[in-house]
Structure 1
Amino acid sequence: MNPIILAQEEEFSTGNPILNISVFLVFLIVTMWLVLRAGKSTKEASDFYTGGGTFSGRQNGLAISGDYLSAASFLGIVGAVALNGYDGFLYSVGFFVAWLVALMLVAEPLRNVGRFTMADVLSFRLRQKPVRVAAALATMFVSLFYLIAQMAGAGSLVSVLLDIHEFVWQAVVVGVVGVVMIVYVLIGGMKGTTYVQMIKAVLLVSGVVVMAVLVFIAIKGGFVTLFDQAIATHADSQAAVDRGYEASRIMEPGLQYGATTTSKIDFISLGLSLVLGTAGLPHVLMRFYTVPTATEARRSVTWAICIIGLFYLITLVLGFGAAALVGPDRILAAPGGANSAAPLLALEVGGTVFMAIISAVAFATVLAVVAGLAITASASIAHDVYDAVLRDGTASEEEQVRVSHITVVVLGIASIILGILAMTQNVAFLVSLAFAIAASANLPTILYSLYWRRFNTTGAVASIYGGLISCLLLIFLSPAVSGAPNAMFPNADWSIFPLASPGLISIPMGFLCGYIGTLIGKPDNLEALAAEMEVRSLTGVGVEAAVDH
């Protein structure tokens, strides 16, 4: 490796390890104290799953923002923009536009019909057991892929802070994050997690605003100066020479996805997954049950859109700021690669103390998001599979919470192992795979259930399994898993599907399977429930009574 790059890495990437660890410990102690306090009031299943439905729209909007603005949003997108410019910003656009789909089509009807989980909606007017099992399985895979991204992001973040290059120690970091996440969920449930997410959202948005201001101060100019400096830094980088592009390409479409026809199609597939995925994310949908009314659910989405929109606009400044002030060579040479752009930028514009604070906020981001994901997955297994399917609705709330705790531990261990394998991937891309699964398996079934009166159990099961299996199969056969230098298994090659993002094929497959399954399946003959679901989804009549019951 170039000795100049090594010297830069030594000088800039570590900061002060003692200070970094101290700030981490302060954040962990404060958030754990909040979780412990909330845990004292977590006594019933509704407290563990939805916080008792007691949060206001503003509070829930903050929590949704904290849930949604994950390590992928902060670490992955800044790195993607810094290295690929225009193409990297697609992630910000896709993640943000997706909320409009969620607001217009899903938020209020979902809150009106469900109680704890997504499967409550899908099975409302259909046969309970097959639909709940299918929905729980889809929830598990979406949550698992999302968790993998958070674990990989945590490993990259701490590796940069402590200048850890050895794979073994990076794996240890991911393991520690997983253990802390498990503890958070077991103690605090949804209430504790929600409070942590609200605080984290405020800190994260405040932190990126300060970073953006410091970027403009550092370059001594506005957007034109920022873009010019980013172009100049890229032109002088070894990365530009290796990739063979002109300096201005960072400002043009196609740097990452324009080289071949296949990459252009991959671009469309990725955008489709990002825009449609949010409306099918179980941990986001579950947030609508933490508010007392559908009006508050709608208000919480409005708050979330404002906060999330501000954040994603700022990622453009941070990404090009990292390109201009840090440069692709230092980013790629640091532990974590593209995921190191944000902490390196914080160090460049604010020094060691600021880097420690921003990194601690990012670390809290990982903890809050993985806790929310773990609760969602555990609720799905305990409520939809254990209680509704295995126990025919007779399981006590204590039994359901106990099964949830076991699920959290198992899911935490699985996400740690897979997160270690995925540490070389950009975490924004890893999250896009979770979005693809949600858009393929969950969204078609949700929309059919809410808006197609003829939709039946056969269609629901076919839609979920068709979208899920096709998406997982295409991911397994894609260059994201094997056959590429940054794949999960770089030394093997069984990739026969050319696209890294499977949404272009798997999302239509989910809709098609649901349609065909409905046509060939027998009607459920539950007209009364279908009529009740339609009235409730549109008006909210009967929701509070059902929840009280």
Structure 2
Amino acid sequence: MNLHYLAAESTGGNPILNISVFVAFIVVTMTIVTRVSRKPQKSASEFYTGGASFSGTQNGLAIAGDYLSAASFLGIVGAIALTGYDGFLYSIGFFVAWLIALLLVAEPLRNTGKFTMADVLSFRLKQRPVRVAAAFATLFVSLFYLVAQMAGAGSLVSVLLDIHEKSGQAIVVAIVGIIMIAYVLIGGMKGTTYVQMIKAVLLIGGVIIMTIIIFVAVKGNFSQLLTEAVQAHGGNEAILEPGMKYAESDTSKLDFIALGLSLALGVAGLPHVLMRFYTVPTAKEARKSVTWAIVLIGGFYLLTLFLGYAAAAWVGPETIKNAPGGANAAAPLLALELAGPIFMALISAVAFATVLAVVAGLAITASASVAHDFYNSVLRNGEATEEEQVRVSRITVVIIGLVAIVLGIGAMGQNVAFLVSLAFCIAASANVPTILYSLYWKRFNTTGAVCSLWVGLLSALILILLSPAVSGAETSMLPNADFAIFPLSNPGLITIPLGFLAGIVGTYIGKPDNFDDLQAEMEVRSLTGVGVEAAVDH
């Protein structure tokens, strides 16, 4: 089906128009960030959690804005367009994971903690070893997630400006990183939350508009869209069935199981998502924010199915593969096909906002972990002033931003949904076992926590480094190198059970902490929310 009755005849967007829309968006959002953050953010609470001043509705929008990353929009639409049913598994995994996180972790974590995930993990355990391990786990999860967003931004802007050269795409990634650093330094959590709220409304609104145009074009006949998608794939009906990507070999089937495990469990260990629950004043508002988030996130992931198959049908798999950014270009190219260059520029600006909002949230989380968990609790024995902590956080944001720029440049050719799955793998291997044991296992001790964190983190990092994701394949981060001795692209099948097992073994090997009063207090607080405002240091 030819949609050019909707769109102007064009092979690409107007670079001047695209840049104008981008600059306008950045100016508007930066103005908002500056206005809401006029009061100097000298206290840790204001910088990390916005003073816990947001309503449930506002926080629900912000959670959706934080959770719906470049992987959710650019990566999944591209994955569905190229691999059909198997690509949609990302949508299913991300949403199921969200429900698991809410059921098992979100409210107890929020009731027990103060600023960071490590507050909970160390509540009834020895502070120093647990906080050090948790800080490193948070840093690496945030860094992998950041790399995915940077790669998505590079792909997006490269499509808009038709930049095929690696050097040009690298400059784009660097500019995104610099803008992200500015957002966080100026706005803190309050400014970041407003950007996330705006972005959530725009992204979900944009996806709804694209879906409506698609249904008008096929006159409500989704079967016709699927038929055209099959035709675009040369009549290959595998795009409608399981296994187009994950049934090629026994290794790919194991990769699928590993991916499912990582996605389903990973969200419960993502520090930047869990940290959002600290920005509301009461448990009631936290539950309200959850309701809003479920509706927005669930609706969004359902609509990615229509966008993905529309991109397959009307943009075509070869066009997507040959575009700058590959699979990540499917969504903006579909917007161009649906309604022309102006619509493409607007949708791409929204996707760019998605990247900025998520990377800002990630940077805040990582900086909070370094300043609050490592600098204050470990190096300064809890005696650092809040102004010192905020200063260290700001320095950390700059350093993390620079590292993410460098790694993002190296990962520009990867599908961002896949890159995010690696962050999920690390979170599920290191953070999730420790969080669940801390909340629900009375016998759990410091040795168990340290073992589960370090074993899960190091095993995931080492196996990712030795996997085809990094070297040994055309789609690897280092395609010209080959040191991939581990066959699976996602090591979650090995590392997640290792993290859980290490927690159990460590607990039985280690000595009891004898913090029975703290364990009892944590149980009461996690279930009731009593004493949420109290300090957690001991």
TM-score normalized with structure 2 length: 0.97
Q: Distance in 1 between matches of 2:172 and 2:420?
A: 20
Equivalent residue number for residue 102 of structure 1:
101
Counterpart AA for 1:179: I
Aligned ranges 1:160-309 → 2 under 5 Å: 160-235=159-234, 247-309=236-298
Equivalent residue number for residue 150 of structure 1:
149
Equivalent residue number for residue 482 of structure 2:
493
Q: Distance in 2 between matches of 1:461 and 1:546?
A: 23
Equivalent residue number for residue 422 of structure 1:
411
Q: Distance in 2 between matches of 1:25 and 1:331?
A: 26
Shift of 1:58: 1.1
In the alignment of these two chains, the number of paired residues is 529
The answer to whether the aligner puts 1:375 opposite 2:364 as a matched pair is yes
Q: Distance in 2 between matches of 1:362 and 1:13?
A: 20
The answer to whether the aligner puts 1:395 opposite 2:395 as a matched pair is no
Shift of 1:544: 3.0
Counterpart AA for 1:31: T
Equivalent residue number for residue 33 of structure 2:
35
Shift of 1:548: 13
The answer to whether the aligner puts 1:502 opposite 2:501 as a matched pair is no
- Contact 1:13/1:163 (8 A) holds in 2: no
Selected match of 1:15 from 9, 13, 16: 13
Selected match of 1:330 from 319, 327, 339: 319
SS of match in other structure, 2:533: helix
Counterpart AA for 1:383: H
- Contact 1:480/1:500 (8 A) holds in 2: yes
Equivalent residue number for residue 136 of structure 2:
137
Equivalent residue number for residue 443 of structure 2:
454
- Contact 2:12/2:336 (8 A) holds in 1: no
Q: Distance in 1 between matches of 2:324 and 2:118?
A: 40
Equivalent residue number for residue 444 of structure 1:
433
- Contact 1:114/1:121 (8 A) holds in 2: yes
Shift of 1:170: 0.3
- Contact 2:91/2:304 (8 A) holds in 1: yes
Shift of 1:251: 0.3
Counterpart AA for 1:84: T
Shift of 1:38: 2.2
SS of match in other structure, 1:87: helix
Equivalent residue number for residue 310 of structure 2:
321
Equivalent residue number for residue 469 of structure 2:
480
Shift of 1:302: 1.8
TM-score normalized with structure 1 length: 0.95
Shift of 1:99: 1.2
Q: Distance in 1 between matches of 2:312 and 2:244?
A: 14
SS of match in other structure, 2:85: coil
Structure 1, gaps ≥5 residues long: 1-10, 236-245
Equivalent residue number for residue 57 of structure 1:
56
- Contact 1:13/1:160 (8 A) holds in 2: no
SS of match in other structure, 1:543: coil
Shift of 1:295: 2.0
Counterpart AA for 2:34: L
Shift of 1:547: 8.3
Shift of 1:546: 4.0
Shift of 1:14: 2.8
Shift of 1:218: 2.7
- Contact 1:382/1:400 (8 A) holds in 2: yes
CA distance 1:519–1:315, shift in 2 (3 Å): same
Deviations 1:293-322 (A, max 9, x none): 122222212211110000000000000000
- Contact 2:280/2:286 (8 A) holds in 1: yes
The answer to whether the aligner puts 1:349 opposite 2:338 as a matched pair is yes
Deviations 1:119-170 (A, max 9, x none): 0000000000100010000000000000000000000000000000000000
- CA RMSD, Structure 1 to Structure 2 (Å): 1.3
The answer to whether the aligner puts 1:73 opposite 2:62 as a matched pair is no
% identity of equivalent residues? 73
Q: Distance in 1 between matches of 2:515 and 2:236?
A: 63
Shift of 1:371: 0.3
Equivalent residue number for residue 6 of structure 2:
none
Structure 2, gaps ≥5 residues long: 1-8
Deviations 1:375-414 (A, max 9, x none): 0000000000000110111111111011001100110011
